[in-house]
Structure 1
Protein backbone atom coordinates (compact mmCIF):
# COMPACT_ATOMS: atom_id res chain seq x y z
CA UNK A 1 0.00 0.00 0.00
CA UNK A 2 1.34 3.45 -0.91
CA UNK A 3 2.16 6.04 1.76
CA UNK A 4 -0.74 8.15 0.52
CA UNK A 5 -3.19 5.26 0.93
CA UNK A 6 -1.92 4.55 4.46
CA UNK A 7 -2.37 8.21 5.43
CA UNK A 8 -5.90 8.33 4.03
CA UNK A 9 -6.82 5.19 5.93
CA UNK A 10 -5.52 6.54 9.23
CA UNK A 11 -7.35 9.83 8.74
CA UNK A 12 -10.63 8.02 8.04
CA UNK A 13 -10.22 5.84 11.15
CA UNK A 14 -9.62 8.89 13.39
CA UNK A 15 -12.71 10.63 12.01
CA UNK A 16 -14.86 7.58 12.73
CA UNK A 17 -13.56 7.40 16.31
CA UNK A 18 -14.26 11.09 16.96
CA UNK A 19 -17.77 10.79 15.54
CA UNK A 20 -18.45 7.82 17.82
CA UNK A 21 -17.71 9.98 20.90
CA UNK A 22 -20.52 12.47 20.09
CA UNK A 23 -24.13 12.10 21.15
CA UNK A 24 -27.06 12.10 18.83
CA UNK A 25 -27.69 15.28 16.88
CA UNK A 26 -29.56 17.76 19.14
CA UNK A 27 -29.06 15.58 22.23
CA UNK A 28 -26.67 17.40 24.61
CA UNK A 29 -26.93 14.69 27.26
CA UNK A 30 -28.57 14.97 30.72
CA UNK A 31 -29.57 18.55 31.70
CA UNK A 32 -28.30 20.08 34.93
CA UNK A 33 -30.78 19.79 37.83
CA UNK A 34 -32.69 22.95 38.78
CA UNK A 35 -34.31 23.89 42.09
CA UNK A 36 -37.98 23.13 42.70
CA UNK A 37 -40.09 26.13 43.67
CA UNK A 38 -42.35 25.82 46.70
CA UNK A 39 -45.74 27.40 47.25
CA UNK A 40 -45.94 31.18 47.51
CA UNK A 41 -46.22 32.45 51.08
CA UNK A 42 -47.70 35.69 52.41
CA UNK A 43 -44.32 37.39 52.43
CA UNK A 44 -43.77 36.91 48.71
CA UNK A 45 -41.31 34.49 47.17
CA UNK A 46 -41.59 30.85 48.00
CA UNK A 47 -38.79 28.66 49.22
CA UNK A 48 -36.81 26.46 46.88
CA UNK A 49 -35.38 23.02 47.09
CA UNK A 50 -31.87 24.14 46.20
CA UNK A 51 -30.40 22.12 43.31
CA UNK A 52 -32.11 18.83 44.01
CA UNK A 53 -34.09 19.12 40.79
CA UNK A 54 -37.09 17.39 42.35
CA UNK A 55 -40.54 18.79 43.05
CA UNK A 56 -40.98 16.75 46.20
CA UNK A 57 -44.26 16.40 48.04
CA UNK A 58 -44.85 15.05 51.51
CA UNK A 59 -46.67 15.53 54.80
CA UNK A 60 -46.37 18.46 57.18
CA UNK A 61 -47.96 18.09 60.60
CA UNK A 62 -47.95 19.40 64.15
CA UNK A 63 -50.03 20.00 67.25
CA UNK A 64 -51.85 23.01 68.72
CA UNK A 65 -52.34 23.64 72.45
CA UNK A 66 -55.12 26.19 73.08
CA UNK A 67 -55.27 27.91 76.49
CA UNK A 68 -57.40 30.60 78.03
CA UNK A 69 -55.90 33.97 78.94
CA UNK A 70 -54.76 32.59 82.31
CA UNK A 71 -52.93 29.62 80.80
CA UNK A 72 -55.58 26.97 81.57
CA UNK A 73 -55.81 24.28 78.87
CA UNK A 74 -58.84 24.37 76.54
CA UNK A 75 -60.25 21.70 74.19
CA UNK A 76 -57.81 21.11 71.34
CA UNK A 77 -60.13 20.38 68.45
CA UNK A 78 -61.43 22.85 65.90
CA UNK A 79 -58.38 25.09 65.47
CA UNK A 80 -58.07 26.15 61.83
CA UNK A 81 -54.53 25.92 60.46
CA UNK A 82 -53.98 27.89 57.24
CA UNK A 83 -51.12 27.97 54.76
CA UNK A 84 -51.13 31.68 53.90
CA UNK A 85 -51.07 32.84 50.30
CA UNK A 86 -51.43 29.38 48.78
CA UNK A 87 -53.60 28.86 45.69
CA UNK A 88 -55.86 26.97 45.94
CA UNK A 89 -56.40 27.71 49.62
CA UNK A 90 -54.99 25.08 51.97
CA UNK A 91 -56.40 24.62 55.48
CA UNK A 92 -56.50 21.86 58.06
CA UNK A 93 -58.41 21.49 61.33
CA UNK A 94 -57.08 20.05 64.57
CA UNK A 95 -58.60 16.88 66.02
CA UNK A 96 -59.29 16.09 69.67
CA UNK A 97 -55.55 15.63 70.27
CA UNK A 98 -54.74 18.98 68.69
CA UNK A 99 -53.13 17.31 65.69
CA UNK A 100 -53.28 18.68 62.15
CA UNK A 101 -51.69 17.53 58.92
CA UNK A 102 -51.20 18.63 55.31
CA UNK A 103 -50.56 15.72 52.96
CA UNK A 104 -49.04 15.75 49.48
CA UNK A 105 -47.69 19.23 50.19
CA UNK A 106 -45.08 20.50 47.77
CA UNK A 107 -41.68 21.34 49.22
CA UNK A 108 -41.01 25.00 49.94
CA UNK A 109 -41.23 27.71 52.60
CA UNK A 110 -44.61 28.52 54.11
CA UNK A 111 -46.28 31.05 56.42
CA UNK A 112 -48.81 29.41 58.72
CA UNK A 113 -51.60 30.88 60.88
CA UNK A 114 -53.62 29.25 63.67
CA UNK A 115 -57.04 30.57 64.71
CA UNK A 116 -60.32 29.65 66.38
CA UNK A 117 -63.32 31.64 67.56
CA UNK A 118 -62.58 32.96 71.04
CA UNK A 119 -58.83 32.67 70.59
CA UNK A 120 -56.24 35.00 69.16
CA UNK A 121 -54.47 34.33 65.87
CA UNK A 122 -50.93 33.00 65.99
CA UNK A 123 -48.59 33.09 62.98
CA UNK A 124 -45.42 31.17 62.16
CA UNK A 125 -43.40 32.64 59.31
CA UNK A 126 -40.81 31.05 57.04
CA UNK A 127 -41.53 27.42 57.91
CA UNK A 128 -39.40 25.12 55.77
CA UNK A 129 -40.87 21.93 54.29
CA UNK A 130 -38.46 19.53 52.56
CA UNK A 131 -41.01 17.00 51.29
CA UNK A 132 -40.29 13.37 50.50
CA UNK A 133 -40.83 10.30 52.64
CA UNK A 134 -39.87 11.95 55.94
CA UNK A 135 -42.77 14.12 57.23
CA UNK A 136 -42.03 17.65 58.44
CA UNK A 137 -42.92 17.89 62.14
CA UNK A 138 -43.59 21.40 63.50
CA UNK A 139 -43.93 20.52 67.17
CA UNK A 140 -46.61 22.12 69.34
CA UNK A 141 -47.84 25.70 68.87
CA UNK A 142 -49.63 27.47 71.72
CA UNK A 143 -52.62 29.70 71.01
CA UNK A 144 -54.22 31.81 73.71
CA UNK A 145 -57.46 33.63 74.26
CA UNK A 146 -56.96 37.43 74.17
CA UNK A 147 -56.62 39.29 77.43
CA UNK A 148 -59.77 40.77 78.96
CA UNK A 149 -57.87 42.92 81.47
CA UNK A 150 -59.01 46.53 81.72
CA UNK A 151 -56.37 49.10 82.63
CA UNK A 152 -56.86 52.33 84.54
CA UNK A 153 -54.81 55.52 84.81
CA UNK A 154 -51.04 55.10 85.08
CA UNK A 155 -49.04 57.10 87.62
CA UNK A 156 -45.36 57.42 88.47
CA UNK A 157 -43.93 57.54 91.98
CA UNK A 158 -40.63 57.42 93.86
CA UNK A 159 -38.37 58.76 91.13
CA UNK A 160 -34.70 58.56 92.11
CA UNK A 161 -31.38 58.87 90.34
CA UNK A 162 -31.39 55.12 89.72
CA UNK A 163 -35.04 54.07 89.26
CA UNK A 164 -38.68 55.07 88.87
CA UNK A 165 -41.84 53.22 89.96
CA UNK A 166 -44.80 52.76 87.60
CA UNK A 167 -48.23 52.16 89.15
CA UNK A 168 -50.70 50.29 86.92
CA UNK A 169 -54.30 49.84 88.18
CA UNK A 170 -56.26 47.09 86.45
CA UNK A 171 -59.33 44.91 86.73
CA UNK A 172 -60.14 41.47 85.37
CA UNK A 173 -63.44 39.97 86.53
CA UNK A 174 -62.53 36.49 85.32
CA UNK A 175 -59.16 36.24 87.04
CA UNK A 176 -60.43 35.07 90.46
CA UNK A 177 -56.98 35.20 91.99
CA UNK A 178 -55.18 34.01 88.86
CA UNK A 179 -52.10 35.79 87.61
CA UNK A 180 -52.70 38.63 85.18
CA UNK A 181 -49.94 39.62 82.76
CA UNK A 182 -49.24 43.23 81.86
CA UNK A 183 -47.02 44.46 79.01
CA UNK A 184 -45.23 47.81 79.39
CA UNK A 185 -44.14 49.79 76.31
CA UNK A 186 -42.11 53.00 76.00
CA UNK A 187 -41.01 55.43 73.31
CA UNK A 188 -39.13 58.72 73.11
CA UNK A 189 -42.13 60.63 71.73
CA UNK A 190 -45.83 60.99 72.66
CA UNK A 191 -48.40 58.53 71.31
CA UNK A 192 -46.73 55.33 72.49
CA UNK A 193 -48.43 52.11 71.37
CA UNK A 194 -47.52 48.45 71.09
CA UNK A 195 -47.01 49.06 67.38
CA UNK A 196 -44.44 51.85 67.69
CA UNK A 197 -43.06 51.49 71.21
CA UNK A 198 -40.33 49.32 72.72
CA UNK A 199 -41.41 46.52 75.05
CA UNK A 200 -39.71 47.20 78.40
CA UNK A 201 -41.06 44.15 80.20
CA UNK A 202 -44.03 41.91 80.88
CA UNK A 203 -45.09 41.39 84.49
CA UNK A 204 -47.42 38.82 86.06
CA UNK A 205 -49.35 39.88 89.14
CA UNK A 206 -52.48 39.15 91.16
CA UNK A 207 -52.60 42.52 92.91
CA UNK A 208 -53.95 45.82 91.59
CA UNK A 209 -52.47 48.29 91.24
CA UNK A 210 -49.22 46.78 90.04
CA UNK A 211 -46.26 48.81 91.34
CA UNK A 212 -43.16 48.00 89.35
CA UNK A 213 -39.79 49.67 89.72
CA UNK A 214 -37.82 50.28 86.52
CA UNK A 215 -34.10 50.75 86.92
CA UNK A 216 -31.95 53.21 85.02
CA UNK A 217 -30.20 50.22 83.43
CA UNK A 218 -33.52 48.90 82.08
CA UNK A 219 -34.18 52.13 80.19
CA UNK A 220 -30.59 52.46 79.00
CA UNK A 221 -30.48 48.90 77.65
CA UNK A 222 -33.76 49.57 75.78
CA UNK A 223 -32.13 52.54 74.03
CA UNK A 224 -33.38 55.40 76.24
CA UNK A 225 -30.56 57.63 77.44
CA UNK A 226 -30.47 59.03 80.95
CA UNK A 227 -31.78 62.60 81.14
CA UNK A 228 -34.15 62.21 78.15
CA UNK A 229 -37.95 62.08 78.16
CA UNK A 230 -39.73 58.74 77.87
CA UNK A 231 -43.45 58.03 77.31
CA UNK A 232 -44.85 54.83 78.82
CA UNK A 233 -48.10 52.93 78.23
CA UNK A 234 -49.41 49.57 79.49
CA UNK A 235 -51.49 46.73 78.01
CA UNK A 236 -53.12 43.62 79.40
CA UNK A 237 -51.70 40.41 77.92
CA UNK A 238 -52.57 36.71 78.09
CA UNK A 239 -50.52 34.59 80.48
CA UNK A 240 -49.19 32.53 77.56
CA UNK A 241 -47.74 35.33 75.45
CA UNK A 242 -47.03 34.31 71.87
CA UNK A 243 -45.33 36.42 69.22
CA UNK A 244 -43.86 36.55 65.74
CA UNK A 245 -41.51 38.89 63.88
CA UNK A 246 -43.14 41.18 61.31
CA UNK A 247 -41.14 40.55 58.10
CA UNK A 248 -41.77 44.11 56.87
CA UNK A 249 -40.64 46.02 59.97
CA UNK A 250 -38.59 43.47 61.90
CA UNK A 251 -40.65 44.27 65.02
CA UNK A 252 -41.85 41.59 67.42
CA UNK A 253 -45.66 41.40 67.35
CA UNK A 254 -47.30 40.04 70.50
CA UNK A 255 -50.68 38.34 70.25
CA UNK A 256 -53.76 38.88 72.40
CA UNK A 257 -53.03 42.33 73.89
CA UNK A 258 -56.01 44.17 75.29
CA UNK A 259 -56.78 47.89 74.92
CA UNK A 260 -54.06 50.19 76.23
CA UNK A 261 -54.19 52.04 79.53
CA UNK A 262 -56.38 55.12 79.60
CA UNK A 263 -53.31 57.34 79.54
CA UNK A 264 -49.57 57.35 79.00
CA UNK A 265 -47.11 58.81 81.50
CA UNK A 266 -44.07 60.89 80.65
CA UNK A 267 -40.98 61.33 82.81
CA UNK A 268 -37.23 61.82 82.57
CA UNK A 269 -35.10 58.69 82.45
CA UNK A 270 -32.98 58.49 85.65
Structure 2
Protein backbone atom coordinates (compact mmCIF):
# COMPACT_ATOMS: atom_id res chain seq x y z
CA UNK A 1 0.00 0.00 0.00
CA UNK A 2 2.76 2.40 0.87
CA UNK A 3 4.48 1.58 -2.45
CA UNK A 4 1.27 2.30 -4.40
CA UNK A 5 0.78 5.65 -2.61
CA UNK A 6 4.34 6.69 -3.45
CA UNK A 7 3.86 5.86 -7.14
CA UNK A 8 0.58 7.80 -7.28
CA UNK A 9 2.18 10.86 -5.66
CA UNK A 10 5.09 10.72 -8.13
CA UNK A 11 2.68 10.52 -11.08
CA UNK A 12 0.74 13.55 -9.86
CA UNK A 13 3.97 15.58 -9.47
CA UNK A 14 5.17 14.62 -12.95
CA UNK A 15 1.83 15.61 -14.47
CA UNK A 16 1.93 18.94 -12.66
CA UNK A 17 5.44 19.66 -13.94
CA UNK A 18 4.44 18.76 -17.50
CA UNK A 19 1.39 20.98 -17.36
CA UNK A 20 3.46 23.85 -16.00
CA UNK A 21 5.84 23.66 -18.98
CA UNK A 22 3.05 23.82 -21.55
CA UNK A 23 1.65 27.30 -22.66
CA UNK A 24 -1.59 27.78 -24.49
CA UNK A 25 -1.93 30.14 -27.50
CA UNK A 26 -3.65 32.65 -25.25
CA UNK A 27 -0.70 32.84 -22.87
CA UNK A 28 1.64 34.39 -25.43
CA UNK A 29 0.31 36.50 -28.33
CA UNK A 30 2.03 36.20 -31.67
CA UNK A 31 4.12 39.37 -32.25
CA UNK A 32 3.12 41.67 -35.16
CA UNK A 33 5.27 41.30 -38.27
CA UNK A 34 7.39 44.36 -39.02
CA UNK A 35 9.59 45.43 -41.90
CA UNK A 36 10.76 48.41 -43.94
CA UNK A 37 8.73 50.41 -46.46
CA UNK A 38 10.44 52.61 -49.04
CA UNK A 39 9.78 54.55 -52.22
CA UNK A 40 10.90 57.43 -54.43
CA UNK A 41 9.63 60.93 -55.17
CA UNK A 42 10.27 62.74 -58.46
CA UNK A 43 9.55 66.48 -58.07
CA UNK A 44 8.80 68.51 -61.22
CA UNK A 45 8.61 72.25 -61.83
CA UNK A 46 5.52 73.72 -63.49
CA UNK A 47 7.05 73.27 -66.96
CA UNK A 48 7.51 69.54 -66.32
CA UNK A 49 11.29 69.66 -65.87
CA UNK A 50 12.98 67.75 -63.01
CA UNK A 51 13.41 69.65 -59.73
CA UNK A 52 15.59 68.93 -56.68
CA UNK A 53 14.61 65.59 -55.12
CA UNK A 54 15.76 66.08 -51.54
CA UNK A 55 13.76 67.50 -48.65
CA UNK A 56 10.32 66.16 -49.54
CA UNK A 57 8.43 65.30 -46.36
CA UNK A 58 6.72 61.91 -46.41
CA UNK A 59 4.16 61.24 -43.69
CA UNK A 60 2.29 58.07 -42.76
CA UNK A 61 -1.27 59.23 -42.08
CA UNK A 62 -2.97 58.17 -38.89
CA UNK A 63 0.08 56.66 -37.20
CA UNK A 64 0.71 57.29 -33.49
CA UNK A 65 3.30 58.50 -32.73
CA UNK A 66 3.60 60.42 -36.00
CA UNK A 67 5.90 58.81 -38.56
CA UNK A 68 7.68 61.25 -40.89
CA UNK A 69 10.80 60.97 -43.05
CA UNK A 70 12.38 63.13 -45.75
CA UNK A 71 13.75 62.19 -49.15
CA UNK A 72 17.47 62.15 -49.89
CA UNK A 73 19.25 63.57 -52.95
CA UNK A 74 17.97 60.65 -55.03
CA UNK A 75 14.37 61.17 -53.92
CA UNK A 76 14.45 58.00 -51.82
CA UNK A 77 12.73 57.63 -48.45
CA UNK A 78 12.30 54.71 -46.06
CA UNK A 79 10.32 53.85 -42.94
CA UNK A 80 12.06 51.23 -40.78
CA UNK A 81 10.46 48.56 -38.58
CA UNK A 82 6.93 49.40 -39.69
CA UNK A 83 4.14 47.06 -38.60
CA UNK A 84 2.36 45.16 -41.35
CA UNK A 85 -0.81 46.89 -42.49
CA UNK A 86 -2.33 49.28 -45.01
CA UNK A 87 -1.13 52.89 -45.05
CA UNK A 88 -1.88 56.26 -46.65
CA UNK A 89 1.17 58.40 -47.43
CA UNK A 90 1.30 62.17 -47.88
CA UNK A 91 4.12 63.91 -49.79
CA UNK A 92 4.80 67.64 -49.46
CA UNK A 93 7.41 70.38 -49.71
CA UNK A 94 6.85 74.15 -49.37
CA UNK A 95 7.66 74.89 -53.03
CA UNK A 96 5.60 71.98 -54.33
CA UNK A 97 2.01 70.81 -54.16
CA UNK A 98 0.76 68.02 -51.91
CA UNK A 99 0.22 64.49 -53.17
CA UNK A 100 -1.24 61.43 -51.46
CA UNK A 101 -0.87 57.74 -52.13
CA UNK A 102 -3.75 55.80 -50.64
CA UNK A 103 -4.05 52.19 -49.39
CA UNK A 104 -0.45 51.05 -49.73
CA UNK A 105 -0.25 47.45 -48.52
CA UNK A 106 2.74 46.53 -46.32
CA UNK A 107 3.30 42.86 -45.46
CA UNK A 108 6.42 43.28 -43.31
CA UNK A 109 9.18 40.71 -43.06
CA UNK A 110 12.70 40.65 -44.45
CA UNK A 111 11.69 41.85 -47.93
CA UNK A 112 11.11 45.65 -47.88
CA UNK A 113 7.84 46.94 -49.35
CA UNK A 114 8.22 49.23 -52.38
CA UNK A 115 5.68 52.07 -52.19
CA UNK A 116 6.13 53.09 -55.85
CA UNK A 117 7.52 56.29 -57.35
CA UNK A 118 5.38 59.38 -56.80
CA UNK A 119 5.43 62.64 -58.75
CA UNK A 120 5.17 65.93 -56.87
CA UNK A 121 4.48 69.00 -58.99
CA UNK A 122 5.20 72.67 -58.48
CA UNK A 123 1.92 74.64 -58.46
CA UNK A 124 1.18 76.60 -61.62
CA UNK A 125 1.99 80.31 -61.53
CA UNK A 126 -0.52 80.96 -64.34
CA UNK A 127 -3.01 83.69 -63.48
CA UNK A 128 -6.54 83.87 -64.87
CA UNK A 129 -7.39 87.49 -65.70
CA UNK A 130 -10.71 89.21 -66.39
CA UNK A 131 -13.02 86.20 -66.65
CA UNK A 132 -16.48 86.92 -68.09
CA UNK A 133 -19.40 84.73 -69.15
CA UNK A 134 -22.13 85.42 -71.69
CA UNK A 135 -25.11 83.09 -71.92
CA UNK A 136 -27.18 82.35 -75.03
CA UNK A 137 -30.32 80.30 -74.50
CA UNK A 138 -30.98 79.95 -78.24
CA UNK A 139 -27.63 78.26 -78.95
CA UNK A 140 -27.68 76.40 -75.63
CA UNK A 141 -24.21 77.59 -74.66
CA UNK A 142 -22.55 79.95 -72.22
CA UNK A 143 -19.21 81.38 -73.36
CA UNK A 144 -16.43 81.86 -70.80
CA UNK A 145 -13.66 84.26 -71.82
CA UNK A 146 -10.46 85.16 -69.98
CA UNK A 147 -6.76 85.91 -70.44
CA UNK A 148 -3.89 83.74 -69.20
CA UNK A 149 -0.72 85.32 -67.78
CA UNK A 150 2.47 83.49 -66.79
CA UNK A 151 5.88 85.15 -66.49
CA UNK A 152 7.91 81.91 -66.65
CA UNK A 153 6.22 80.22 -69.61
CA UNK A 154 8.19 80.45 -72.87
CA UNK A 155 6.47 82.30 -75.69
CA UNK A 156 3.88 80.11 -77.43
CA UNK A 157 3.76 77.59 -74.59
CA UNK A 158 0.80 75.29 -74.18
CA UNK A 159 -1.17 76.71 -71.27
CA UNK A 160 -3.29 74.36 -69.20
CA UNK A 161 -6.20 75.13 -66.92
CA UNK A 162 -9.14 73.57 -65.08
CA UNK A 163 -12.56 75.11 -64.69
CA UNK A 164 -15.03 74.14 -61.98
CA UNK A 165 -18.75 74.89 -61.98
CA UNK A 166 -21.25 74.91 -59.13
CA UNK A 167 -24.51 76.30 -57.81
CA UNK A 168 -23.03 78.53 -55.11
CA UNK A 169 -20.84 81.67 -55.28
CA UNK A 170 -18.09 80.03 -53.23
CA UNK A 171 -17.43 77.28 -55.77
CA UNK A 172 -13.85 75.94 -55.62
CA UNK A 173 -11.84 72.97 -56.86
CA UNK A 174 -12.79 71.24 -53.59
CA UNK A 175 -16.54 71.87 -53.87
CA UNK A 176 -17.33 72.29 -57.57
CA UNK A 177 -17.60 69.95 -60.54
CA UNK A 178 -14.72 69.78 -62.99
CA UNK A 179 -16.45 70.79 -66.21
CA UNK A 180 -16.73 67.76 -68.52
CA UNK A 181 -13.92 66.14 -66.45
CA UNK A 182 -11.37 67.32 -69.02
CA UNK A 183 -8.07 69.18 -68.99
CA UNK A 184 -8.14 72.15 -71.33
CA UNK A 185 -5.10 73.70 -72.97
CA UNK A 186 -4.27 76.47 -75.36
CA UNK A 187 -1.19 77.93 -77.04
CA UNK A 188 -2.73 81.42 -76.89
CA UNK A 189 -3.06 83.64 -73.83
CA UNK A 190 -6.67 84.43 -74.77
CA UNK A 191 -9.31 81.78 -74.11
CA UNK A 192 -12.91 81.51 -75.26
CA UNK A 193 -14.49 78.39 -73.82
CA UNK A 194 -18.02 77.18 -74.57
CA UNK A 195 -20.06 75.67 -71.73
CA UNK A 196 -22.89 73.62 -73.18
CA UNK A 197 -26.38 73.27 -71.75
CA UNK A 198 -26.13 69.45 -71.81
CA UNK A 199 -22.84 69.35 -69.87
CA UNK A 200 -24.03 71.92 -67.33
CA UNK A 201 -27.29 70.03 -66.79
CA UNK A 202 -25.28 66.83 -66.35
CA UNK A 203 -23.28 68.62 -63.63
CA UNK A 204 -26.52 69.20 -61.73
CA UNK A 205 -27.07 72.79 -62.90
CA UNK A 206 -30.61 73.22 -64.30
CA UNK A 207 -31.39 75.55 -67.20
CA UNK A 208 -32.59 79.03 -66.29
CA UNK A 209 -30.88 78.97 -62.89
CA UNK A 210 -27.80 80.83 -61.70
CA UNK A 211 -24.46 78.99 -61.83
CA UNK A 212 -20.88 79.92 -61.04
CA UNK A 213 -17.53 79.11 -62.60
CA UNK A 214 -13.95 79.42 -61.32
CA UNK A 215 -10.71 78.73 -63.24
CA UNK A 216 -7.27 77.54 -62.10
CA UNK A 217 -3.96 77.38 -63.96
CA UNK A 218 -2.45 73.91 -64.19
CA UNK A 219 1.23 72.86 -64.53
CA UNK A 220 2.39 71.04 -67.65
CA UNK A 221 2.60 67.77 -65.73
CA UNK A 222 -0.13 67.32 -63.15
CA UNK A 223 -0.99 64.29 -61.04
CA UNK A 224 -4.16 63.33 -59.22
CA UNK A 225 -5.43 61.00 -56.52
CA UNK A 226 -8.78 60.04 -55.07
CA UNK A 227 -9.47 61.42 -51.60
CA UNK A 228 -10.44 58.39 -49.46
CA UNK A 229 -12.73 60.53 -47.28
CA UNK A 230 -14.76 62.33 -49.95
CA UNK A 231 -14.22 60.10 -52.98
CA UNK A 232 -13.37 63.19 -55.04
CA UNK A 233 -10.49 63.30 -57.51
CA UNK A 234 -7.91 65.81 -56.31
CA UNK A 235 -5.64 67.38 -58.94
CA UNK A 236 -2.27 68.53 -57.64
CA UNK A 237 -0.42 71.65 -58.70
CA UNK A 238 -3.43 73.92 -59.23
CA UNK A 239 -2.50 77.60 -59.27
CA UNK A 240 -4.36 80.53 -57.74
CA UNK A 241 -8.09 80.66 -58.40
CA UNK A 242 -9.62 83.25 -60.68
CA UNK A 243 -12.46 85.49 -59.65
CA UNK A 244 -15.71 83.56 -59.52
CA UNK A 245 -18.14 84.50 -62.30
CA UNK A 246 -21.93 84.10 -62.22
CA UNK A 247 -24.07 83.27 -65.25
CA UNK A 248 -27.47 81.84 -66.15
CA UNK A 249 -27.47 78.27 -67.39
CA UNK A 250 -28.87 78.31 -70.96
Scaled by the length of structure 2, the TM-score of the pair is 0.78
Q: Distance in 2 between matches of 1:202 and 1:143?
A: 18
Give the drift of 1:187.
0.6
Residue in 2 that maps onto 1:219: 200
Query: Are 1:70 and 1:179, in contact at CA under 8 Å, matched by a contact in 2?
Result: no
Q: Distance in 2 between matches of 1:230 and 1:32?
A: 65
Point out the more displaced range, 93-102 or 168-177: 93-102
Give the drift of 1:163.
3.2
Q: Distance in 2 between matches of 1:267 and 1:32?
A: 71
For 2:146, which of 135, 147, 168 is the aligned residue? 168
Residue in 1 that maps onto 2:121: 144
User: Could you say what secondary structure the match of 1:217 adopts?
Assistant: helix
For 2:89, which of 105, 112, 117 is the aligned residue? 112
Query: Are 1:64 and 1:76, in contact at CA under 8 Å, matched by a contact in 2?
Result: yes
User: Could you say what secondary structure the match of 1:72 adopts?
Assistant: coil
User: Could you say what secondary structure the match of 2:201 adopts?
Assistant: helix
Residue in 2 that maps onto 1:65: 42
Query: Are 2:225 and 2:234, in contact at CA under 8 Å, matched by a contact in 1?
Result: yes
For 1:89, which of 66, 72, 75 is the aligned residue? 66
Q: Distance in 2 between matches of 1:129 and 1:68?
A: 31
Residue in 2 that maps onto 1:256: 237
User: Could you say what secondary structure the match of 2:220 adopts?
Assistant: coil
Question: Structure 1 unaligned runs (5+)?
Answer: 1-19, 35-52
Residue in 2 that maps onto 1:129: 106
Query: Are 1:154 and 1:265, in contact at CA under 8 Å, matched by a contact in 2?
Result: no
Bigger strand fraction:
2
Give the drift of 1:145.
0.8
Give the drift of 1:185.
0.5
Q: Where has structure 1 moved over 6 Å in runs of 4 or more?
A: none
Give the drift of 1:28.
8.3
User: Could you say what secondary structure the match of 1:154 adopts?
Assistant: strand
Scaled by the length of structure 1, the TM-score of the pair is 0.73
Q: Distance in 2 between matches of 1:69 and 1:247?
A: 26
Query: Are 1:232 and 1:265, in contact at CA under 8 Å, matched by a contact in 2?
Result: yes
| Residues 1:198 and 1:24: Cα distance change in structure 2 (over 3 Å) | same
Q: Distance in 1 between matches of 2:105 and 2:125?
A: 35
Query: Are 1:230 and 1:266, in contact at CA under 8 Å, matched by a contact in 2?
Result: yes
Residue in 1 that maps onto 2:211: 230
Task: State the superposition RMSD in angstroms.
Answer: 2.9
Point out the more displaced range, 257-266 or 167-176: 257-266
Q: Distance in 1 between matches of 2:59 and 2:243?
A: 35
Pair 1:206-2:187 in alignment: yes
Q: How many residues align?
A: 231
Which structure is richer in relative contact order (CA contacts within 8 A, separation 6 or more)? 2
Residue in 1 that maps onto 2:159: 180
Give the drift of 1:168.
2.3
